[in-house]
């Protein structure tokens, strides 16, 4: 978790458009529990300021003068792995999303998305949870679940997961947090965390966002009307 319970989430904004920065500040500071710590208008300025004003969450535009936002996220995550990064961009494109997530971004939000989506992404990031704009998530699924590719991906590691681990990663890919997964499966939150650690080890990822990307790439997602059987029936 990026911030302790009851504390405001400290955010750094990185965007070279003044009007965008002003709009983001208004949107986020109107939401209780979020504090804009500082802003930067380039990746280089962000790297200099982050030393003095370390945030919980950094919101980065992909298109920046000089170093781009994806390379900035790589640099920040290499030196400050505890800082969560959200990409805020006009690019409704699965390839950019894939690059951002592999660089270490925990969220990918489109600039013309609803304002509430950005707020939700910041709160989720502070909890170590991911949010990818729905339109981009759909394109990721469409791009990588072609019949041949889907079969190939499943052959590369799908068999190593237990049925319960498959259930858990499907729910993670749908956006459920650990508490919600525990409630749905009638298991403890500690058991969910154990399943997630095992999933990370088996599929070779280090964080939740890349686990979700792996699930999407491998077609391990909840299909329409699919249900998951809990450990005991609901009463």
Q: What average pLDDT does the segment 214-235 reach? A: 66
Q: What average pLDDT does the segment 224-234 reach? A: 59
* pLDDT confidence of residue 86: 94
158 — pLDDT class (breaks 50, 70, 90): low
> CA-CA-CA-CA torsion for 106, 107, 108, 109, nearest 10 degrees?
-160
Q: What average pLDDT does the segment 140-166 reach? A: 62
Q: Does residue 13 register a pLDDT over 90?
A: yes
What share of the chain has pLDDT > 70, as a percent?
83
Task: For the chain, list the domains and their CATH numbers.
Answer: 9-139 (3.40.50.2300), 147-217 (1.10.10.10)
Q: Does residue 232 register a pLDDT over 80?
A: no
Q: Does residue 71 register a pLDDT over 70?
A: yes
Q: What average pLDDT does the segment 186-195 reach? A: 90
* pLDDT confidence of residue 227: 66
Q: Does residue 148 register a pLDDT over 60?
A: no
Structure tokens at 233: 């029936």
Range from 86-95, 136-145, 163-172, 215-224 carrying the lowest mean pLDDT: 136-145
Q: What average pLDDT does the segment 142-166 reach? A: 62
Q: What average pLDDT does the segment 40-66 reach? A: 93
Range from 12-26, 36-50, 159-173 carrying the lowest mean pLDDT: 159-173
159 — pLDDT class (breaks 50, 70, 90): low
Q: What average pLDDT does the segment 130-149 reach? A: 67
Average pLDDT in the chain: 83
Q: What average pLDDT does the segment 221-229 reach? A: 67
- pTM (two decimals): 0.62
Q: Does residue 7 register a pLDDT over 60?
A: yes
Q: What average pLDDT does the segment 39-67 reach? A: 93
């Amino acid at each position: 978790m990026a911030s302790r319970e009851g504390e405001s989430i400290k955010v750094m904004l990185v965007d070279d458009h003044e009007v965008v920065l002003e709009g983001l500040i208004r949107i986020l500071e109107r939401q209780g529990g979020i504090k804009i710590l500082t802003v930067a208008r380039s990746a280089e300025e962000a790297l200099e300021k982050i030393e003095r004003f370390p945030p919980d969450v950094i919101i980065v535009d992909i298109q920046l003068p000089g170093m781009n936002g994806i390379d900035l996220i790589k640099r920040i995550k290499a030196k400050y792995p505890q800082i969560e990064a959200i990409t805020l961009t006009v690019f409704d494109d699965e390839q950019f999303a894939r690059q951002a997530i592999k660089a270490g971004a925990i969220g990918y939000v489109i600039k013309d998305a609803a304002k509430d989506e950005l707020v939700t992404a910041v709160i989720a990031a502070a909890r170590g949870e991911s949010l990818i704009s729905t339109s981009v998530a759909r394109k990721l699924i469409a791009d990588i679940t072609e019949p041949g590719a889907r079969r190939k991906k499943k052959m590369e590691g799908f068999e190593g997961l237990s049925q319960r681990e498959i259930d858990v990663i499907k729910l993670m890919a749908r956006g459920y947090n650990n508490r919600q997964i525990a409630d749905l499966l009638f298991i403890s939150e500690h058991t969910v965390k154990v399943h997630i650690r095992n999933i990370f080890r088996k599929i070779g990822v280090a964080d939740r966002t890349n686990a979700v990307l792996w699930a999407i790439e491998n077609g391990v997602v909840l299909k329409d009307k699919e249900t998951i059987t809990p450990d005991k029936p609901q009463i």
